[in-house]
Amino acid sequence: MTAAETPLGRKRRARRMARMLAELHPDAHCELDYADPFQLAVATILSAQCTDVRVNLTTPALFARYPDPAAMAAADRGELEELIRPTGFFRNKTNSLLGLSAALLSDHGGEVPGTMAELVKLPGIGRKTANVILGNAFGVPGITVDTHLARLVHRFGWTTATDPVKIEHAVGELIPKNDWTMFSHRIIFHGRRVCFARKPACGACGLAKLCPSYGSGPVDPDAAAKLLKGPRVAELAAAAERVNT
């Protein structure tokens, strides 16, 4: 994991880290609530600059009022804006939802398409959103390059790329395709619970021995354990102690 690391060495280290992430975060999953691909597309659009928890508080009433693209395309703009206002940027998001629903109706018979090429042509759907939809609603492997994944793969020394598409391809070279969707959930969980942007909990991190950025945050196990977040704090600290001692 130094500058002298070979491509094969990096791939082996990346796969060991991916296996450890699977051990550390067995509960990793898509945290948005949805019942079908359309609801997932809507929830993912709403999740921009907003927590999944807040989106999940907002969507039950939204989906009850507009259960499908036909209902949403015919929505009164003001009413739709009010329903999604708590998620922020509600005017832009309303434009995306109205545009998406209309395009699904006119071009796809009211169904969400299941390919990257078709998804990224839809209003409000970029590559990141398309990968979330493909991976979770269609079972097509996808790497979701969000802020957590981008930060962590830099810290892991897997890539120096900053362009999301380049990051996606770099990670795709290291991780087996079948694992892409679950890997994305696990690394995002690690970013939310352990490897924080400001103060990563390095001393309580099960990846410490494989991570060149160990020391970016507190290395004292007790101090680091206090930083951990989520419902599995005790398990995460114990796993880190087991692998690091």
Binding mask 171-200 toward ligand SF4 (x if CB under 6 A, else -) reads -----------------------xx----x
Cβ distance to ligand SF4 smaller for residue 56 or 244: 244
Reference 148, options 104, 198, 192; nearest CA is 192
Cβ distance to ligand SF4 smaller for residue 181 or 213: 213
What secondary structure letter does DSSP report for 210? G
Q: Is residue 201 within the footprint of ligand SF4 (CB under 6 A)?
A: yes
Binder of ligand SF4 out of 216, 226, 232, 243 (CB under 6 A): 216
Binder of ligand SF4 out of 155, 185, 186, 193 (CB under 6 A): 155
Instruction: Yes or no: say if 103 and 122 are a contact pair by the CB < 8 Å rule.
Output: yes
To which H or E segment does residue 100 belong?
A: helix 90-108
Measured CA angle at 173 (ends 177, 176), to 5 deg: 25
Q: Is residue 214 within the footprint of ligand SF4 (CB under 6 A)?
A: yes
Instruction: Yes or no: say if 41 and 100 are a contact pair by the CB < 8 Å rule.
Output: yes
Tokens of 33: 């609530």
132: Cα within 13 Å, side-chain hemisphere: 27
User: Helix, strand, coil proportions of the chain in percent (round to 5)?
Assistant: 60, 0, 40
Q: How many Å separate Cα 53 from the centre of its chain? A: 14
Q: Is residue 159 within the footprint of ligand SF4 (CB under 6 A)?
A: no
Annotation marks residue 146 as catalytic: yes
In sequence order, what E strands does 108-234 have?
A: none
Q: Is residue 208 within the footprint of ligand SF4 (CB under 6 A)?
A: yes
Annotation marks residue 229 as catalytic: no
Cβ distance to ligand SF4 smaller for residue 46 or 211: 211
174: Cα within 13 Å, side-chain hemisphere: 27
Cβ distance to ligand SF4 smaller for residue 66 or 196: 196
Residue 30 annotated in ligand binding: no
Q: Is residue 202 within the footprint of ligand SF4 (CB under 6 A)?
A: yes
- Footprint on this chain of ligand SF4 (rule: CB under 6 A): 155, 194-195, 200-202, 205, 207-208, 211, 213-214, 216-217
Give the annotated binding-site residues.
195, 202, 205, 211
Kindly list the catalytic residues: 128, 146
Residues comprising the binding site for [4Fe-4S] cluster? Answer: 195, 202, 205, 211
